[in-house]
A and B are shown apart, each in its own frame.
Chain A
Amino acid sequence: MSNQSENTTHFGFKTVQEDTKADLVADVFHSVAAKYDVMNDVLSMGVHRVWKRFTIDCSGIRKGQKVLDLAGGTGDLTAKFSRIVGQTGQVTLADINDSMLKVGRSKLRDLGIVGNVSYVQANAEELPFPDNHFDLITIAFGLRNVTDKDKALASMYRVLKPGGRLLVLEFSKPLYKPLSKFYDFYSFNVLPKLGKLIANDSESYQYLAESIRMHPCQETLKEMMNSANFEGSEYFNLSGGIVALHRGYKY
């Protein structure tokens, strides 16, 4: 692996040139954008809502604060944050993909969420925000799609205010053998079929399953956060480790 790490990276199980991964990821999300919310509910059997609720509860978010919902996609978290921080606060929904941003923006508009949300097309590796700007950064199911995760973490650290928090919600390593067997079967056999059935796009969901496997496990991600200077890093396993929420502070 080390001999290829210079300029290649993973796209699911495939190894691709670093500069093409972003485009490939973009294709995936362009193609799933319209059906994204439905698929989320179907594929996770609604459980993603509980994971997101847990994330909000761990965020310590308050009225009047500034939040960055990174890789925010269709804006589930943004919607909640917008209501909690209120008119004196500010939520930024950032995503690299303009199809996802568009779907997100029109969804939030329809929900009546206007005034304290702004939409920014941005790459997590090079965030276009000033230093020490946000009280809270969340990245939910986004980090595994990012090509250079260390660079992204460093960039998040830079734009976070001292005293601020980073929350990473991401698929992780199931804690129990039987669970991980079932999970493997589900993600490699059922998931792509469902993807084909509902969104007529099995490849994107094949990619989803593969990218989940290639993502760093709980301890590794915690180490990565520490190396990016985050302090007090910790994680919570959700649904038996299928998903983990990592939390780190900048002091």
Chain B
Amino acid sequence: MPLDKLVCGFLETTVNKLQQLDSSALQRRKQLNGTIIGVALKEINKPLYFVISTQQIDILSEYEGQADCFIRLNISALKELQNNHQLTHLIKTEQLEVEGDIQIVQRFARLLTEMDIDWEEHLSVIIGDILAHKLYYEFKQCRKNASLQIKKIEKQSGEYITEELKIAPGPLEVVYFCEQVNDIKKQVDALEKRLQQGFASSNKLTRNIR
């Protein structure tokens, strides 16, 4: 199967490129040096083996020995791995199965997800300090603008729905509506009281007649 070799090769190159950019990765790999971790996605059922050494991470599609730790998980659980507190939750809900030391899994998840990459720094090696700073600044500005825009859009579409379409009520309308509901509730309570009093006295009456 040359395809899975290609996939493995591609994955390995990508992962190690990221590892090289991450200033804390070496320290994390040291903690796991010499560990072999098998990972299988339940949906695909084709395990990959991660061989971790101080030099790099090697990814194999076959390993005939016993891995130090083997995990099986749902694709949807991949995202949650970042969050180390989630691990026990994932295990409880059977989205993640672990054979071996849970601490290894925690370290491994941290190695792959908590990357500390200074993009500006790396960019500057390629294109020079000033340009990198500018680009990175622009990028951050873009991102800020984008999130501002998104908030604005959210607000505007909210207004549009309430004012123009009248699908949803505005805040004052809601308060007014609630007050009306309260009034009615009071009136209903009063009515109920009076009704009960009425019943009570009519009961007395009928008993006296007999």
Contacts and interface: CB of A to CB of B under 8 A. Distances in A.
Interface of A: 49-50, 53-54, 56-58, 60-63, 80, 83-84, 86-87, 111-113, 238
Interface of B: 2, 5-6, 8-9, 34, 36, 51, 53-56, 58, 60-65
A62 B53 contact: no
A49 B34 CA distance: 23
Contacts of B51: 83-84
A68 to B, nearest CB: 18
Contact of A57 (B34, B36, B55, B60): B60
Contact of B5 (A53, A87, A111, A113): A53
Contacts of B65: 62-63
B30 to A, nearest CB: 11
Q: Which 4 A-B pairs have the closest CB atoms?
A: A62-B65, A57-B62, A60-B64, A83-B53
B9 A53 contact: yes
Nearest to A65: B65
Nearest to B64: A60
A14 B106 CA distance: 61
Contacts of A83: 51, 53, 55-56, 58
A57 B9 contact: no
B58 A80 contact: yes
A113 B58 CA distance: 14
A50 B9 contact: yes
A28 B60 CA distance: 33
B58 A84 contact: yes
With a 10 A CB-CB cut-off, give which of A54, A57, A111 has the most chain B CB atoms. A57
